Amino acid sequence: MSSGQACERCKGGHFLNVICEGCYSGGLAASAVLAAEAYVHNWLSTYQRCVGRILAPSKFVKQKLGEDGWAYARIQVLPHFQTLPLTQAPYPGQEAPILYFGRLSTEKGLADLLGAMRQLSQIRLVIAVDGPQRSELEITAQKYGLGNVRFAGYVSGPALQKLIAESQFTIFPSHADETLGKSILESYAQARAVVASDLGSRRELVEEGKTGLLYPAGDVNQLAAAIKFLYERPELSRQMGKAGSDFVREQHSQAQHLLALERLYEQLRVKPALIGKRPKPPAPLRIAYIGGRGGIGKYSGIETYYEQTGKRLARTGHEITAYCRSYFTPEIAEHEVSASCAWQRSARSTWRL
């Protein structure tokens, strides 16, 4: 992101933009080091030589990597999974509020959402979770007299699932090209429809008119119109939420994800044996998680995915490294180190940060 908008200025190896645009919060010197490092690894083809397979959570991410020169054949799309509740709460009806949950930061488009709520005084909005923009957003809401907007603060786990279930539908006005949009899947899991900006991977998750509504990113009037349209049609909202729940069950189940992941790792582990030689046992894999804020799942869906899959893969003997952003992740070298069970591996298993 740059100035609150999706940025691709470094595409094609133009890493000087990291310095020119001031993208990195560590300052000019740190930005220069990052740019130099990127140029060196690009020149050495480090990642092309050392990375056997890239897992992308959406077709959108695969497309972007391909546009930047990566071989499409080396990129495999494996969307994240979403667990469905054992029982789904009944649809709460038109009197229920609508909900935004996610990080409160500029690129998430919350200013647009507050602008839309100025036109929708009869609709209640709950804003859950937290982030650096919270104070600014609260001041804006107070300035505009938005008594229909409530900031619920940081909410997670069962409390967040309850908030989703108690909402009519959820809103995601992001200006960023989200790599997947785990929050959308969480909404569908509770059988709640979605209104989202029409960017990136959201086109793969939100089927217009069936599981939710898409609107042009940054268009406050269109956002307000979409919210009003769905709010005034509670039966349609309920049907969309049910379709979203079916979509998660069919396309994003935990069992399907695990099966696909196991098949991929087995393909990477097994090497053809030489004629007349006994095949060697498969070696543990070295797996890297990149692109997220960190490895401890308290920021968003991708970090939760890192933690839940990372520690399980580590227990089976694989070496997992999560590349983190220092201003998000605590300064620890290892996370959740524990002695492995006898049926897994006798050595201590861990995953590194």
The CATH number of residue 149's host domain is 3.40.50.2000
Report the chain (353 residues): mean pLDDT per 10 consecutive residues.
74 86 78 90 87 91 91 92 92 94 92 97 95 95 96 92 97 92 95 96 94 96 98 96 96 91 82 55 79 67 79 84 75 58 30 49
Report the phi/psi class of residue 93: left, alpha or beta, with left for phi > 0 and alpha for psi in -120 to 50: left
Residue 188 domain-assigned (yes or no): yes
pLDDT score of 274: 46
pLDDT score of 345: 27
What does the DSSP 8-state code read for residue 5?
Answer: B
Residue 322 domain-assigned (yes or no): no
| CA nearest neighbour of 294 among 286, 303, 305 | 303
Residue 224 domain-assigned (yes or no): yes
Residue 145 domain-assigned (yes or no): yes
Residue 334 domain-assigned (yes or no): no
Residue 18 contacts by C-beta under 8 Å, 6 or more apart in sequence? 10, 24, 31, 34, 35, 38
pLDDT score of 277: 59
Residue 256 domain-assigned (yes or no): no
pLDDT score of 85: 93
pTM of the shown model: 0.75
Question: For the packed helices 234-251 and 182-189, what is the interaxial angle rounded to 10 degrees?
Answer: 110
Residue 346 domain-assigned (yes or no): no
The tokens for 200 are 């990136």
- Please give the residue range of the domain that contains residue 220: 98-250
| CA nearest neighbour of 320 among 281, 350, 282, 279 | 350
Residue 171 contacts by C-beta under 8 Å, 6 or more apart in sequence? 98, 99, 100, 113, 125, 194, 195, 196, 223, 227
pLDDT score of 296: 66
The alpha carbons of the chain give a radius of gyration, in whole angstroms, of 22
Instruction: Give me the phi and psi of 70, to 5 degrees please.
Output: -75, 145
- For 155, counting Cβ atoms within 10 Å of its Cβ (0-12 exposed, 13-18 middle, 19+ buried), the class is middle
Please count the structural domains in the chain.
Answer: 1
The amino acid at residue 332 is: I
pLDDT score of 285: 83
Residue 10 domain-assigned (yes or no): no
Spatial separation of the C-alpha atoms in residues 140 and 112, rounded to whole Å: 11
